[in-house]
Amino acid sequence: MARLHFIILIFSSIFAISSSSFIRPPHPFDPLTRTELKLVRNVIKKTYPVGPKYNFTFQYVGLNEPDKSLVLSWHSSPDQNVKPPPRQAFIIARDSGKTREIVVDFSSRAIISDKIHVGKGNPMLTIDEQEAATELVHKFKPFRDSIRRRGLKLSEVVVTSSTMGWFGETKTERLIKTIPFYLNGSVNTYLRPIEGLTIIVNLDKMKVTKFKDRFTSPLPKANGTEFRFSKLNPPFGPALRNAVLFQPNGPGFKIEGHIVRWANWEFHMSFDVRAGLVISLASIFDMDMNKYRQVLYKGHVSEIFVPYMDPSADWYFITYLDCGEFGCGQSAVSLEPYNDCPAGAAFMDGIFAGQYGTPTKISNVMCIFEKHAGDIMWRHTEVEVPGLEITEVRPDVSLVARMVTTVGNYDYIIDYEFKPSGSIKMEVGLTGVLEVKPVEYVHTSEIKEDDIHGTLIADNTVGVNHDHFVTFRLDLDIDGTNNSFVRTELVTKAPKSVNTPRKSYWTTKQKTAKTEAEARVKLGLNVEEFVVVNADRRTKHGNEVGYRLFPGPVSGTLLTQDDYPQIRAAFTNYNMWITPYNKSEMWTSGLYTDRSQGDDTLAVWSQRNREIEKKDIVMWYTVGFHHVPCQEDFPTMPTLSSGFELRPANFFEQNPVLKVKPIKLTTTPCCTCTNG
């Protein structure tokens, strides 16, 4: 045990030292530290009453996005000796029924901006207020009566909070719906919903404002919902052997503060309570040019839209916008060494402000590890050269930055995989537990309705049809900020020459998108390639320097444009969008997502149809899943993955991994097994 643990400990301590000792000033993208969060609270406390007794709550506290030009001039200066941008916090607070936007400056230790949000939508929900609301419901007499009337034990009832969306209401107070579940013999909460109750809580007033007991429904059995190894009965299996990656020279990455350096990559890795894992200033070292070249200024999940496909009273509103409503960072979980991330992984904590401004830690909320999957980086066997048989192979290795966000029942695994070849792969894994609906049936032959809106996956249990749309915001800076988006259509042609027996071939038709409208993409309609190019740079052979998007499997929205959830999530109307960089356009579902009305989404911003040619542009890409559940998804779901790849296309002059050394096992381990 000792040695492997030792390696991990070294890394943890490197991180701990550099992030807390402040030997040098923080990186402009460093997340707010515990000290800074405390400072925010103290600064605000001078102006507003803060604490459980007062009507002032911190709904979001994060780094105030530093001015991009200042970050870039700092980053590109030799030894980064140019002054970094001023370090500030951005706070969204709820103050006596109003939403307040506050900027706190750390050097002056003062509020430098403070205004009331007058538009639509509400801020992210805090964990504290959701807990308070569900506790309130638990004690609410009519609710207790309803539970008793069902013959259920109150002590076994868990109440959870659900956002309620917007369905044309003119008043959109901070209301949530709460949904009760019945544990009694299960710890797999979400598999045992108690249906038929409408319970609405006003979060500002912290009062139940509506309660209706509409009907009773059967309860899915607790049988088979167990998922804890310690409580399951044998036989166990299938049996898998342990494996440990041994690195004779230690892992190849170095972490300094939040900066990760590995192979030819360098990037900054941060945590935001809304987005979760944020990658910034990712650059790749070009051996020919002997310098780092920019690729990704900032990349993160901007929203996860999860509409369910049952229009009935208990379900129609379940159309979550997870990051904007619940916080994909706030919902992120501590990763388990060896299981969530393999041996050799390094971990980083996440710190965010609780409802009253107090720092809260999620330990090991992100991890970084080398992936040795057995893939081949490149190879060729050449047999045509007389007297020689040449085989050159390089095994692939990549670096993965991971977070897992568990928004209620679903666990989303978000991976950024950096390859020495210059590729960045974004991968989304879905696992966790389904949202289910109780029914009276145990067999499909008993089903009376036309449509049960899902699959009968267990006794009295329908796994309800739904979608997942994970929208990434990728502020690409391909070798600088002066970028264009080129769509290359592959077009079938008839040969002009009469001297060929071929009747057809395809050729490329390039078009640079001039405005946002020209860059909205529904994948699959045309055969197209998509490249972000640098308008200032060409290779020595004259090709535009670029990065190409390789889409993964495609799923788009099937909701109608006039449906309320779709209006709010209109950013899923296309699979891909390009916008000009705008500091305020970070959250595709709008800054205020809870009960939003769709007036501040990517789709609205894009309607301005701004110019995007030779500009600093941002790519928005949505990874989509349509999910018709199956029995294998019960009681927990084997991971289903999808994603996409960004890959250099004429960015380098040649194969950037041509000169990677092959693996020669000159130094090999001698391993023995010991009981740890």
Q: Which residues are catalytic?
A: 322, 410
> What are 422's two structure tokens?
């210059």
Q: Select 23 or 240, whichever has its Cβ closest to a second copy.
A: 240
Segment interacting with a second copy, rule: CB under 8 A, options 62-70, 96-104, 503-511, 572-580: 503-511
Asked whether 454 and 629 are in contact (CB, 8 A), the reply is yes
Positions 459 through 478 that interact with a second copy (CB under 8 A) = 459, 465
Q: Tell me: does residue 380 bind a second copy (CB under 8 A).
A: yes
Q: Tell me: does residue 444 bind a second copy (CB under 8 A).
A: yes
- Nearest distance in Å: CB 409, a second copy: 8
Q: Select 19 or 572, whichever has its Cβ closest to a second copy.
A: 572
Exactly one of 20, 184, 582, 631 binds a second copy (CB under 8 A); which one? 631
Q: Select 35 or 500, whichever has its Cβ closest to a second copy.
A: 500
Q: Select 355 or 455, whichever has its Cβ closest to a second copy.
A: 455
Query: In this structure, how many other beta carbons lie within 10 angstroms of the beta carbon of residue 126?
Result: 24
- Nearest distance in Å: CB 85, a second copy: 30
Positions 284 through 343 that interact with a second copy (CB under 8 A) = 285, 287, 309-313, 316, 333-334, 336, 338-343
Q: Select 86 or 342, whichever has its Cβ closest to a second copy.
A: 342
Exactly one of 141, 151, 503, 584 binds a second copy (CB under 8 A); which one? 503
Q: Tell me: does residue 185 bind a second copy (CB under 8 A).
A: no
Q: Coil, helix or strand for 426?
A: strand
* DSSP letter (8 states) at residue 630: -
Q: Which residue has 């050729």 as its token pair? A: 507
H/E stretch holding 637 reads: strand 637-649
What residues pair up with 104 in beta bridges, in sequence order? 89, 111
- Nearest distance in Å: CB 457, a second copy: 7
Asked whether 64 and 93 are in contact (CB, 8 A), the reply is no
Segment interacting with a second copy, rule: CB under 8 A, options 63-71, 108-116, 394-402, 474-482: 394-402
Q: Tell me: does residue 154 bind a second copy (CB under 8 A).
A: no
Q: Tell me: does residue 171 bind a second copy (CB under 8 A).
A: no
Positions 49 through 78 that interact with a second copy (CB under 8 A) = none
> What are 306's two structure tokens?
């999860």
**DSSP string computed for 265-332:** EEEEEEEETTTEEEEEEEEEEETTTTEEEEEEEEEEEEEEEEEBS--STTTTT-EEEHHHHT-TTTTB
Asked whether 601 and 593 are in contact (CB, 8 A), the reply is no
Instruction: Tell me the C-alpha distance between 508 and 254, whole Å.
Output: 42
H/E stretch holding 14 reads: helix 2-21
Instruction: Tell me the C-alpha distance between 395 and 661, whole Å.
Output: 10
Q: What is the dihedral of CA 263, 395, 288, 426, to 10 degrees?
A: -60
Positions 565 through 624 that interact with a second copy (CB under 8 A) = 565-566
- Nearest distance in Å: CB 475, a second copy: 23
Q: Tell me: does residue 648 bind a second copy (CB under 8 A).
A: yes
- Nearest distance in Å: CB 312, a second copy: 7
- Nearest distance in Å: CB 176, a second copy: 15
Asked whether 114 and 92 are in contact (CB, 8 A), the reply is no
Exactly one of 488, 515, 535, 604 binds a second copy (CB under 8 A); which one? 488
Asked whether 435 and 220 are in contact (CB, 8 A), the reply is no
C-alpha distances out from residue 97 to 123, 202, 204, 420, Å: 12, 11, 6, 51
Positions 516 through 535 that interact with a second copy (CB under 8 A) = 524, 527, 529
Contacts of 584 (CB under 8 A, 6+ apart): 591
Q: Select 136 or 343, whichever has its Cβ closest to a second copy.
A: 343
**Number of residues located near a second copy, criterion CB under 8 A:** 195
Segment interacting with a second copy, rule: CB under 8 A, options 38-46, 106-114, 201-209, 543-551: 543-551
Q: Select 85 or 551, whichever has its Cβ closest to a second copy.
A: 551
Asked whether 26 and 257 are in contact (CB, 8 A), the reply is yes
Instruction: Tell me the C-alpha distance between 465 and 670, whole Å.
Output: 52
Segment interacting with a second copy, rule: CB under 8 A, options 50-58, 145-153, 470-478, 542-550: 542-550
Q: What is the dihedral of CA 303, 309, 312, 316, to 10 degrees?
A: 10
Exactly one of 84, 193, 329, 429 binds a second copy (CB under 8 A); which one? 429
Q: Which amino acid is at 571?
A: F
Exactly one of 406, 515, 518, 610 binds a second copy (CB under 8 A); which one? 406
What is the per-residue binding string for a second copy in 211-230, x denoting contact by CB under 8 A? -------------x--xxx-
Q: Tell me: does residue 107 bind a second copy (CB under 8 A).
A: no
What is the per-residue binding string for a second copy in 186-205, x denoting contact by CB under 8 A? -xxxx---------------
Q: Select 21 or 445, whichever has its Cβ closest to a second copy.
A: 445
**CA distance from start to end of the chain:** 5
Segment interacting with a second copy, rule: CB under 8 A, options 88-96, 140-148, 605-613, 641-649: 641-649
Q: Select 109 or 511, whichever has its Cβ closest to a second copy.
A: 511
Q: Select 55 or 312, whichever has its Cβ closest to a second copy.
A: 312
Instruction: Tell me the C-alpha distance between 283 and 295, whole Å.
Output: 5
- 264 phi-psi bin (left φ>0, alpha ψ -120 to 50, beta other): alpha
Instruction: Tell me the C-alpha distance between 619 and 149, whole Å.
Output: 53
- Nearest distance in Å: CB 88, a second copy: 32
- Residue 152 CA from chain centroid, whole number: 38
Q: Tell me: does residue 669 bind a second copy (CB under 8 A).
A: yes
- Nearest distance in Å: CB 208, a second copy: 19
Instruction: Tell me the C-alpha distance between 70 and 82, whole Å.
Output: 9
C-alpha distances out from residue 139 to 129, 189, 505, Å: 15, 19, 72
| Cα atoms found within 13 Å of the Cα of residue 217, Cβ hemisphere only | 24
Exactly one of 141, 291, 443, 448 binds a second copy (CB under 8 A); which one? 443
Segment interacting with a second copy, rule: CB under 8 A, options 24-32, 48-56, 184-192, 349-357: 184-192
Q: Which residue has 């034990």 as its token pair? A: 153
> What are 270's two structure tokens?
């941060």
CA-wise closest residue to 36 among 14, 13, 58, 63: 63
Q: Tell me: does residue 397 bind a second copy (CB under 8 A).
A: yes
Q: Tell me: does residue 101 bind a second copy (CB under 8 A).
A: no
Instruction: Tell me the C-alpha distance between 258 and 29, whole Å.
Output: 9
Segment interacting with a second copy, rule: CB under 8 A, options 55-63, 110-118, 144-152, 448-456: 448-456
Burial of 450 from C-beta contacts in 10 A (0-12 / 13-18 / 19+): exposed
Instruction: Tell me the C-alpha distance between 254 and 368, whole Å.
Output: 10
Q: Select 74 or 285, whichever has its Cβ closest to a second copy.
A: 285
Q: Tell me: does residue 170 bind a second copy (CB under 8 A).
A: no
- Nearest distance in Å: CB 672, a second copy: 6
Exactly one of 236, 291, 448, 584 binds a second copy (CB under 8 A); which one? 236
Q: Tell me: does residue 359 bind a second copy (CB under 8 A).
A: no
Segment interacting with a second copy, rule: CB under 8 A, options 36-44, 94-102, 199-207, 501-509: 501-509
Phi, psi of 484 (to 5 degrees): -135, 160
Q: Select 122 or 423, whichever has its Cβ closest to a second copy.
A: 423
